[in-house]
Amino acid sequence: MFSARMRFYILISFVTISGFTQGMLLPLLAILLEGMGVSSSMNGLHATGLYIGVLIASPFMEKPLHKFGYKPMILTGGGLVFVSLLLFPLFPSLWFWFILRLGVGIGDHMLTFATQTWITSTTPQFKRGKIIAIYGLFFSLGFSVGPTMLRFIELHQNFPFIIAGLLCMVAWGFVLFIHNEQVENDDGIHTIQVQSTIGRFGLTIKLAWIALLGPFTYGVLEAILHGIFPIYGIRIGYNVDTIAFIIPLFSIATLFTQVPLGALSDKIGRGKTLFTVTAFGSIIFLLGAMFEGTFTVLILTFLLSGMLLGSLFSMGVSFMTDILPRQLLPAGNIMCGIAFSIGSMIGPYFGGLFIDLFPNTSLFYSLSGTLFIITVIFSKKKHLA
């Protein structure tokens, strides 16, 4: 069996593959469905399948984790992901692809929930922001590489699915050698467990709703930039190769700032950091909307927004972990996933609807407006830890 340090590396590698899968699927299926003549709003609605899967799985995750431990959850989720990926080439159908998106969403949420809870529950508070930022960094690394698979469409549209499925199988194999651990069961956890699932989630929302806005906002941004921008980009004159180059810039930029921002939030507080990055992010997308016809400005929009906003999910998780008592961390991690999924479902549908209703208006205005609203909310709570 591997040491605790090696276990951390294996968990991070699996999270990287998870990010790669999501980063690939959103733009890949958006472009393939656009080629099949699917409307923008329907294309966006189809993209919600991944996150509907997360919502379906979420209420049933906590009890199996307590009963079986972390490793079985990761193996089950990872297995569901790579099986679903390998089935995509076999059944090129609109509705069957939607079912497979559900499968990937359920599996991804199982493995990310288990790895995230395992890491957050074993990390001391004084370096929590930094460690969880590293977790988010590797997810972003995978997410940034995912869209590069679009280039393989020219060879064969099935290649990206096969590559992602095989990589997931390799990471899954390494997890077999990790020693399983159980969720700690002290008196506090026992007290929480005897309450209803709805009660635990309700208490989590009551205590940490402000922290959940980080994953929610990141879900909106990620889904629109990866699932809807490819459609918008094609309609304003960019080709597939250009889009495949632009989209990863958001996640690539995150790699350089995620850990520094996490460490900064350890020092000045999560609330202040979240307020600052969303405020500047709103301004960046506003400027991007005004000058999107210039290729250089478009590149800078993705780079600068990624540097600031790519940490929203990991910082929200750290914020949640600061606020909640230890016994509510499993429920808190589930709620972070739910918040991310709700944002990811709202993003592509309304992004696609925005394009249909306002075909001559920049998609970036919708992102700037969303971030402005979130900034106003954070401004009321920025004094929090």
Q: Which parts of the chain fold into alpha helices (H)?
A: 4-35, 40-47, 49-57, 62-68, 70-87, 94-121, 128-145, 159-175, 187-193, 197-223, 229-235, 240-246, 248-268, 270-290, 295-309, 312-323, 329-357, 363-381
Residue 200 reports pLDDT greater than 80: no
Q: Report the share of the chain in percent with pLDDT over 70.
A: 91
pLDDT tier, 157 (very low <50, low <70, confident <90, very high otherwise)? confident
Q: What is the pLDDT of residues 362-375, one digit of tens each?
A: 889 989 999 999 99
- Distance between CA atoms of residues 136 and 141, nearest Å: 9
Please compute, for residue 312, the number of CA atoms within 13 A of its CA located in the half-sphere on the CB side. 33
Q: Report the share of the chain in percent with pLDDT over 90.
A: 13
| CATH number for the domain whose boundaries are 4-381 | 1.20.1250.20
Q: What is the pLDDT of residues 44-62, one digit of tens each?
A: 778 777 778 877 877 777 7
Mean pLDDT of 243-252: 83
Mean pLDDT of 116-145: 75
Please report, for the chain, the start and end positions of each structural domain, with discontinuous segments joined by +: 4-381
> Is the Cβ–Cβ distance between 220 and 364 less than 8 Å?
no
pLDDT at position 2, please? 59
- Distance between CA atoms of residues 239 and 352, nearest Å: 19
pLDDT tier, 212 (very low <50, low <70, confident <90, very high otherwise)? very high
Max mean pLDDT among 166-170, 237-241, 303-307 falls in 303-307
Grouping H, G, I as helix, E, B as strand and the rest as coil, residue 385 is coil
pTM greater than the 0.85 cutoff: no
Average pLDDT, the chain: 82
Q: What is the pLDDT of residues 2-11, one digit of tens each?
A: 566 777 888 8
Residue 300 reports pLDDT greater than 90: yes
Rg, the chain, Cα only: 20
Mean pLDDT of 281-299: 89
